[in-house]
Amino acid sequence: MNIPEFGTDAAATTPETLRAAPETLGAGVVKRPTRLADGRELIYFDDPGTTLGPARAIDARDLDPRPATATMRQDVLTGDWISVAAARQNRAFLPPAELDPLAPQSATNPSEIPSEYDVAVFENRSPSFGPALAAGDAPAADDPPRGLDDLARVGLGRTRTSVGRCEVVCFSPARTGSFGTQTVTRARTVIEAWADRTAALSALPGIEQVFPFENRGEQIGVTLHHPHGQIYAYPYITPRTTRLLAQLDQAGPDLFARILEFEQAGPRVLLRGAHWTAFVPFAARWPLEVHLMPHRHVPDLAALSNDERDELAPLYLRLLRGVDALYDTPTPYIAAWHQAPVHVGRDTVRLRLELTSPRRAADKLKYLAGSEAAMGAWIGDVPPETAADALRAAIARADAAAADAAEVHAEGEPA
């Protein structure tokens, strides 16, 4: 595929909409924004010391126009808003490796990313929210939400345009893997990308909450094996966070500080650093559930200090590799970064990772059946203390394996 490039000298012939100045972020990560052929935003995040040059190929595909923005309908029984996004039916489903839509484009693979990359973030082609926004340069929304008070009113037949943004975060150009298979340097680049996108998406008109996450494994519903995650920018505060805000009103604004102190003094701690603690929560719902929380109050990833981001990269990798060391095959999970809403709860809702897996044994999964799915009444299959013991042992095995691999690598290096 003969694809023109932008960057350095090639930028002189690049369409104006594709040109943007690179920006150096924390840890030496370089951000390079551009656009795809249908106008969607694409951002490259280069590792510090990357082997890639500054030039990037322009997306020369002939793409159909983007689908219309979905419509939200209100469930009058709960007040929840349900986005009806029929365009999602067209998304890729377990394509062969040679047609991986998240790999760099090639002569035989017209994928979503024109160039080689370290980390890439782009707008989802079949989003649940957007591309319309409440205002601004995005496509005009027919009936955008009119603020949180408007969304809180309950009535039969209420609808609003599903304004917002859905983005895909590619952790690596490799066709297989997960966040846990990345290097510490690459993990740090992804963390910088998450923080950058959290700040940018939070600033969009009509956005109320930003949610980065990674789905891993077909058992979770993953339709692409490429190592990647997603970011949703919602036009409302999600039901889970709405319930949390009510709980904070009742329990007190220092609830997260008290939770962390309680867990750090208990038997379920898995990892503890200078800035982060990972633990199995006291009332875990899932057979495998881990929370990772910063020691100081931080509302979102964008508010993390460089020291907190630096520690998070290796500590999070140790946690994920321990999860995979539990069994002989990789464990499916949802890694959910819960952040404070954009406009409320900033001083009380603390950033934390909640990693959950339905795997309750090597060959068994927990299915949400009658009590959990219909009534929201959870029954735990594995005592949290038992799960913590197993995870600590698995993390120790993964650490030992990593140390052995590093020693072998060092012995193989030339003198």
Which residues participate in catalysis according to the annotation?
A: 228
**Long-range CB contact pairs, 91-95, < 8 A, 24+:** 91/125, 91/126, 91/223, 92/223, 92/224, 93/223, 94/218, 94/223, 94/224, 94/225, 95/224
Nearest partner of 73 among 16, 149, 157, 7, judged by Cα = 157
What are the structure tokens assigned to 351, written together? 């950033």
Kindly report the backbone phi and psi dihedral angles of residue 30, in degrees, each rounded to the nearest multiple of 5, phi listed first.
Answer: -110, 130
What are the structure tokens assigned to 172, written together? 């690596």
SS (H, E, C) the chain: CCCCEECHHHHHHCCHHHCCCCEECHHHCEEEEEECCCCCEEEEEECCCCCCCCCEECCCCCCCCCCCCCEEEECCCCCCEEEECHHHHHCCCCCCHHHCCCCECECCECCCECCCCCEEEEECCCCCCCCCECCCCCCECCCCCCCHHHHHCCCCCCEEECCCEEEEEECCCCCCCCHHHCCHHHHHHHHHHHHHHHHHHHCCCCCCEEEEEEEECHHHCCCCCCCEEEEEEECCCCHHHHHHHHHHHHHCCCHHHHHHHHHHCCCCEEEECCCEEEECCCCCCCCEEEEEEECCCCCCHHHCCHHHHHHHHHHHHHHHHHHHCCCCCCCCEEEEEECCCCCCCCCCCCCEEEEEECEEECCEECCCCHHHHHHCCCCCCCCHHHHHHHHHHHHHHHHHHHHHHHHHHHHHCCC
